[in-house]
A and B are shown apart, each in its own frame.
Chain A
Amino acid sequence: MQHHVILSTASPHPGRRRRRLGWTGAMASVALVLSACGGGEGGGGSDVPDDGSQLTMWVRSGGPGELAATLVDAYNASHENQIELTAVPADNYQQVVGAAAGSDELPDLLAADVVFSPNYVEQGLLLDITDRIEGLEFVDTLSKAQSEAASDADGNLYGAPFSIDSSFIAYNKDLYAAAGLDPETPPTDFEELYAHAEAVRGIGGDTYGYYWPGNCAGCNAFTLMPMLAAAGQPPVVAGEPVDLDSEAMAAVLELHQQMYSNDIMSPASAQESGATWTADFLAGTVGIIPIGQFIIPELADADFDWGYAALPAPDGSATSTFVGGDVLGITAGSEYPEQAWDFINWSLQEEAQVEVLAKSGYLPSRTDLADNEYSAQDPRVVSIIDNLANGYTPSAVNYGEVFNEATGPWLTGLRDAVVNGKPVDQALRTMQEDAAAVLDEQ
């Protein structure tokens, strides 16, 4: 990587140290970066981890952005290194990263939504940090599901768990009582899900049994895929063909189709783009909602009591959760890999995990720290963390195109069956074919 240094010229802005290269220089450095991808050290920074370097870091806006800001503030306050954090609008993260990668303008630290990190790994944007992560004494406590999302086909690791978002079912205990259900008995399979939702709808008026984010691709991946994983039929597994035409998926579609056509789910569901996903539930007019742990701080203000249930397989034989969130990697072109790793390493230590993250209401990414003084205050949070062990994170290059885009086969198929009344087997076949065309061509 020495050539890198020679090619580099100092940037007039102290905050940025990106290389300024001519076209040939860019091509040459691209070749160098590629050849150095096996896990080499970077060029510009010293070997002293905390030497007062100026680092840059990107994260998507929203929850992960706020979490990152909390961590970075704590790090900057206690270290010589200073990190300049940019929260890129979440909807445009891919575009910004893509454009910057093409011109060698990436930051030193790149947080990646776990469902997109396989793309970044595949495109060679991140540095191999297998040895560093495996050198951590608590390596076994890091989320397996997330680590898989940040590794390549050979098992090399390119990112460490950074933020965790976990899905589950929340239900309104007050409405359960009003509907004659036992508030302490949450639904454990699809039959009970339907029966409970139907009973709550029986209260009538504007009260509905179930809320479904019917026009939000990512929301549905987040809440429905664990049901498939719990049934032993996860749709996306690294190295295997996509499997959407499964019995579990058919059961999921039938459940939602019935709730939709029988007026059990809120009519706002069909149009829900994610923006007001939690609004009806928070207002106390919805009985059951599959949702993520980001709703918990908001539920603190709700004027009803709520309960937790894990996302079940259709027959209730097992439960699972979507381990979403972000992994944090060092970019392949970073001149400060030592210093960047210093931040990652620090963020995984007990002090940061408990006294910064858990204290601020975030889930720690180490399972051994799940039960801490802050989470212990709410048994529901402990249940959520416990269930992470059964967690599932889909890992596939081009995942986003299929499962996160409003125009992708996933949402199109879901809506075809649930909203547009297409027979389930037909919707599934189309979904499977279209998804396979994108995912399995790799």
Chain B
Amino acid sequence: MPRQQHRRGTLTRRPATGWLFVLPAALIVLLLFLLPLGVLIAMSFTDWPLLGGPEPTGLDNYTSIPQNDLFIGAIAFTLLYTALATVLIFGISFVLAAISASPRRGAKFYRTAFFLPYVVGTAAAALIWYAATNPQTGVMERLIQAVGLTDGTFGFLATPDKALWTTLSLVVWKFIGFQVVVLVVGLQSVPPELHEAARVDGANAVQRLRWITLPFLRPTLALLLVLSITGSLLAFDQFYVLTNGGPDRGTVTLVYAVYQTAFTSFDLGRAAALSVVLLLALVAINGLQLFALRRRED
């Protein structure tokens, strides 16, 4: 395409113009992301007190990570939570997306209903759950007794398992709307003629889903998967507000452990080392995911 090349030529003649456009964002990234990240990395090699000068401690903060029970214990829980949250959100969002993308009357209303919780802040959403699951004043306890599932107090946050599932219900409620809308947009980008043609050729619904819809949705799904896994691995707010990591240390996520090391123990150096390890792990995981998804596409 010679015309295209010509045009690129005029636009890129002054690459400085490109820099001018990205400058505000670049400055924010440099000053408020890379610089603090640098401080964080520097912290991770020191004993960093609240007041006074930091003392270099070499790799001590890193070599002490295996002894940090809270953090090590949080690895398994965070992975479990990530797996459950991702499977639940993906499974349910397909059903809800199918409803929302339906040509039937009312579909748009349903889609709005599914998305609305997304505009609620995590803290506010957690407070709604917090109030509703209170054993004494909460409506959920009364509901579950009215349905006849339990006689006494059920205790939505009473055991680690219950606390996990209660939090998962919050997460599905709060975050699924975004995924549904993105899926709907993806579904609408599938040309209807393809479905028609396949139907004429005798393909059933499952076959059409497998051979037409899914291939079209692949980039969407890749994006959602990366976002969902990254978000879940970094989960913090919902547990901080709703469960406080309890009961019985049962719902401590990795970021929760980092937060506690930084802000309860004021062990800033060690918290920084944990953060750096976590960041590297996430970069590796996301790199692997993108690599795997690309390869499958080829």
Q: Taking the complex as a whole, does A directly touch B, i.e. does some CB pair lie under 8 Å apart?
A: yes
Range of interface residues on chain A? Answer: 35 or more
> Which residues on B sit within 8 Å (CB–CB) of A272?
135
In the complex, what distance in Å separates the CA atom of A341 from the CA atom of B53? 28
**Contact in complex: A412, B249 (CB < 8 Å):** yes
CA distance A398 to B243 in the complex (A): 22
Interface pair B136/A98, CB less than 8 Å apart: no
**Are B244 and A268 neighbours in the complex by a CB distance under 8 Å?**
no
* Secondary structure class of chain A's binding surface, majority of residues: helix
Tell which of A94, A275, A407, A415 touches B245, judged by Cβ atoms closer than 8 Å.
A407
Name the contact of A31 in the complex, choosing from B53, B135, B156, B246 (C-beta under 8 A).
B53
Which of B70, B246, B266 lies in contact with A215, CB distance below 8 A? B246
Least CB distance, B177 to chain A, in whole angstroms:
28
Number of interface residues of B (CB under 8 A): 31
A-side residues, CB < 8 A to B, are 27, 30-31, 33-34, 94-95, 98, 101-102, 119, 123-125, 215, 267-268, 270-273, 275-276, 279-280, 332, 398, 400-401, 405-407, 411-412, 415-416, 419-420, 438
Instruction: Write 21 A-B pairs (CB below 8 A) sorted by A numbering.
Output: A27-B53, A30-B53, A98-B266, A102-B268, A123-B51, A125-B50, A215-B158, A267-B135, A271-B155, A271-B156, A271-B157, A271-B158, A271-B247, A273-B157, A276-B136, A406-B243, A406-B245, A407-B70, A407-B244, A412-B248, A419-B248
Q: Known interface pairs A30-B51, A273-B244. Does A268 touch B252 (Cβ–Cβ under 8 Å)?
A: no
Cβ of B9 < 8 Å from any Cβ of A? no
Considering only CB atoms, which chain B residue lies closest to A92 in the complex? B263
Contact of A401 among B247, B252, B264 (CB under 8 A): B264
- Complex interface: chain A residues within 8 A of B266 (CB): 98, 119, 123
Chain B residues near A125: list those with CB within 8 A.
Answer: 50-51
- Of residues 262 through 285 on chain B, the ones whose CB sits less than 8 Å from some CB of chain A are 263-266, 268
Scan B126-165; emit 1 where CB is below 8 A from any A CB, else 0. Answer: 0000100011110000000000000011011110000000
Describe B's contact surface by its main secondary structure: loop
Q: Given A30-B53, A215-B247, A267–B134 Cβ distance below 8 Å?
A: no
Indicate if the CB atoms of A420 and B263 lie closer than 8 Å.
no
Contact B264 A33 (CB under 8 A): no
Pick from B51, B158, B246, B264: contact of A101, CB below 8 A. Answer: B51
Interface membership of B49, Cβ < 8 A: yes
**A34 touches which of B52, B153, B260, B265 (Cβ 8 Å):** B52
Complex alpha-carbon distance, A98 and B271, angstroms: 14
Whole-angstrom CA separation of A119 from B265 in the bound complex? 10
Instruction: Rank and list the top 3 A-B pairs by shortest CB-CB distance, nearest first.
Output: A406-B244, A406-B246, A95-B263
Q: Is the CB of B50 within 8 A of A101?
A: yes
Question: Restricting to B225-254, which residues have a CB under 8 Å from any CB of A?
Answer: 243-249, 252
Q: Which residues of A contact B268 (CB under 8 A)?
A: 102
How far, in angstroms, from A173 to B217 measured CA to CA in the complex?
68
Contact of A94 among B155, B246, B264 (CB under 8 A): B264
Specify which chain B residues have a CB less than 8 angstroms from the CB of A271 in the assembled complex.
135, 153, 155-158, 247
| Cα(A34)–Cα(B263), bound, Å | 22
Residue with the highest number of chain A CB atoms closer than 10 Å, among B52, B265, B266: B266
From the candidates B135, B152, B246, name the one contacting A407 in the complex (CB within 8 A).
B246
Chain B residue contacts of A27, Cβ below 8 A: 53
**With a CB–CB cut-off of 8 A, which chain A residues contact B153?**
267-268, 271
**A123 near B50 (CB under 8 angstroms)?**
yes
Contacts of A419 in B (CB 8 A): 247-248
Q: Are B137 and A279 in contact (CB under 8 A)?
A: yes
Taking CB atoms and an 8 Å cut-off, the chain B residues in 151-201 that contact chain A are 152-153, 155-158
| Residues of A contacting B137 in the complex (Cβ-Cβ under 8 angstroms) | 276, 279
